[in-house]
Structure 1
């Protein structure tokens, strides 16, 4: 049986980087990681979902959805949650090597 590296398996099963399927997969994975980070920070601060919701001004169900499935969430909401958790947030933006034509 042939062995595959993780990147080879992802290319084969999900799609090569730059394809819509792969981009969507990586985007959803990043959202899942954000939910995990929120949950870990909340637990480290010894807060319940309900308590965090009160700090942010949302209901417990919204915190639960954010932790378990961070789709359809705005950056503003994520920043409010991390602000309530007194956590520092850093965004990294990388420009791709694409030429942009300006008319």
Structure 2
């Protein structure tokens, strides 16, 4: 939590709980999260990419700028709310419940 600078890359998180909050920098990449719970809130920077989230619960809230790409979410529950700027792409959501508000 509270990562305030530059580049953050999280890859190959295969189980358990993943929480990422108050990331204020430019580029955030999360790839190959295969299970458990993923929560991302208050991401205020430019580019956010989340790819290949294959199970469990994913919540993204309070994304306030730039480009957000979420692709290949294959199961469980996905909630995205309060995306306030720029470009948002969600592709290949194959199961469960998808809620996209605001």
Question: Larger Cα Rg: Structure 1 or Structure 2?
Answer: 1
With structure 2 as the length reference, what TM-score do the two structures score? 0.23
Tell me which protein shows more helix as a share of its residues. 1
